[in-house]
Chain A
C-alpha cells in the first residue's frame, strides 16, 4: 500500500525537555495505527506536530509527498488531516446538531478548492442528519453539547472531525473518560465510519484491549522515541514495551 504520511527525523524540545526525539514514521494508506506509551512519552506531541498545533524543532512531515511541516492547522485540515482531542473541543453553548452544522456549513459555504472537492452531495440539513445517524447521536440532536455525558462528547468530537471528510484521522485518547461498557460501542461506531470513508487512522490510546482489537500496527513511544513499531501482537510482546509502556514487573 502507498505511504500517505511520512514523518522524517522529527525532534521537538520544550526548553530542556525533549518531547520528540528523531521520530521517523511512514504510515500506509487505509491502515489503523495505534500510538501507545506512558504519560509524557511523546504521543500527543507527535499528533500535535502532524496537525500543525506544534511545529517540530527539526525534521519534516509529508502528506502524500507534500511537505506540510510549516502549514497552519486550518491548511492541514483542508488537505484532509483532521483530529479529535483528549478533551473534546466542542461548541458548548450549541446543540449537537448545531455543532455538526457548523462543520457542514464551513465546507458548504467555502468557495475554496478543498471545500468543493469535499462538498456533500446532499443539503446541509440532510448531511447533519446522516452524521447523527452514523454516530448514534440522533437522540441527543437538540441537547446542548456542553451538558452531554463524557462518552457522548467524545463521540461528537470525533464526528466533528469526520464532517470535513478527512483522508487521515488522528484521535487523541478516544476512550479516555468513557465507561468500560461504552468504549467498544464508541470504537465500533468510529471504525465503521472510518471504513466507510476509507480513512487512515492514527490513535493514541492507553487501553491495550482497544489497541489490540482495532489496530493493524502499533507505535510504542518512550521518552520521545519510538521504541517498537510493528504488528500489535509483536509490539505488545516486546520486552521494552512490556517494561516501559505496559508497566509489567520484570
Chain B
C-alpha cells in the first residue's frame, strides 16, 4: 500500500499524540478529546460538502451515535468503549441508509432543511421519552476497553487513546477514499451531475453512499463524545449543535482531511478562551471569527496552507 503525505502525517501525529499523552495536562487532553470528537463529525460534513451538499441536521447522527453507545452501556449493561462506539456506528449507518433513500433525491436548501427536520424529529422523540431520561438524558460510564477494565488514570488514557486512534483512523480511511476513483466522484457531482450520469455513474447512489459514510462518522464522533463526557442528552440533536458542525466545516475548509480536525481544535480553543475571558459575549467572539474567515479566507483555514504552495 503506497501512502501519500497526508496518510503518513496521520500516522505520525497519531503516534505522537499517544506518546505525549502522559505529559499532557488534563485541560489539554480534555480540549483535544472534544476537538477530535467534533473533528470526526466534521470529517463527514466535509465529504458531503465536497459532494456539494450541506447538512443542517448532522446533530441527528451525533446524538444517535451517543444514545446507541449509552444504550449499550446502561440498558445492555456492557460498559465497553469499543462496543459502544461500534454500536454508535452501526445504529447511525442503518438509520442513514434508510433516510438516505429520501434525502439523496434532494439538493441545496431542500437537502439542508430536510436533514434539519429529521434531527428535530429525534429531538422531539427524545424529550418525550422518559425511559431515556427525557430532557435530562442520562449518565454513562465506560469502564473497559476490549474487555480490559480501566480505572482512574488508565481510564483517562484509554479514553484519550480510543478517541485519538478512531479519529485518526477515520481521517486515514476517508483520505484513502477521497483519493479513490469513487471518491473523486464527490467533486465531479458538485461540479456537474449531468456529466456524471452521462459517463455511466449513478449520482444518487454516490450521494446516498456519502450520506451514510458521513452519518457513520458523526455516529462515531457522538459515541466518543458520550464516552468522554459521560453524559448524553437531547441537546446533542438540537439545531444549534448541527449549526456548530456547519460552523466548524466552513471555518476549516474542505481541502484535506486534516482541515476538519484542525478546524475543530481552533474552534474549541477559541470557544474555551472566549468563555473563560468573556463569559457574557463568547458567542460574539465566535461570530467575529467566522466573519473574518468568510471575508478573508473563503476556502477556510486550510486555504492558508494551500496558498503557500507554489502555483
Partners in one complex: yes
Q: Chain B residues in contact with chain A, CB under 8 A?
A: 180-182, 184-185, 187-188, 190-192, 194-202
Report, as a range, how many residues of chain A touch the other chain.
20 to 34
Question: In the complex, are the beta carbons of A93 and B187 less than 8 A apart?
Answer: yes
Contact of B182 among A91, A92, A109 (CB under 8 A): A109
Which residue of A77, A93, A94, A124 contacts B200 across the interface (Cβ within 8 Å)? Answer: A77
Given A90-B192, A109-B181, does the pair A103, B199 have CB atoms closer than 8 Å? yes
Instruction: Produce 1/0 per residue, A82-101, CB < 8 A to B.
Output: 11000001111110001001
Cα separation A77 to B203 with both chains bound (whole Å):
14
A105 adjacent to B184 (CB under 8 Å) = yes
Interface of A: prevailing SS:
helix
Interface residues, chain A, with chain B CB atoms under 8 Å away: 51, 72-74, 77-78, 82-83, 89-94, 98, 101-110, 114-115, 124, 160-161, 163-164
Q: Across the two chains, which residue of chain B brings its CB closest to A109?
A: B181
A93 neighbours in B (Cβ, 8 Å): 187, 190-191
When the two chains form their complex, are residues B187 and A94 in contact, meaning their CB atoms are under 8 A apart?
yes
CB-CB < 8 A to A74: which residues of B?
197-198, 200-202
Is the Cβ of B181 less than 8 Å from the Cβ of A92? no
Would A163 and B199 count as touching, CB distance under 8 A? yes
- Would you call A114 and B200 a contact (CB within 8 A)? yes
Please give, as numbers and ranges, the residues of chain A lying within 8 Å of B201 by CB-CB distance. Answer: 74, 106, 110
A102-B182 in contact (CB<8A): no
Closest to A108 in B: B181
Which residues of chain A come closer than 8 Å to B194, judged between CB atoms?
89
Q: Say whether, besides A91-B191, A91-B192, A51 and B182 are in contact (CB < 8 Å).
A: no
Q: How far is the CA of A107 from the CA of B194 in the complex (A)?
A: 17
> What B residues does A94 contact at CB under 8 A?
187-188, 191
What separation, in Å, do the CA atoms of A161 and B195 have in the docked complex? 9
- Of B180, B188, B196, most buried by chain A (CB within 10 Å of CB) is B188
Distance (Å) between the CB of A88 and the closest chain B CB? Answer: 9
**Which residues does chain A contribute within 8 Å of B192, judged by CB atoms?**
89-92
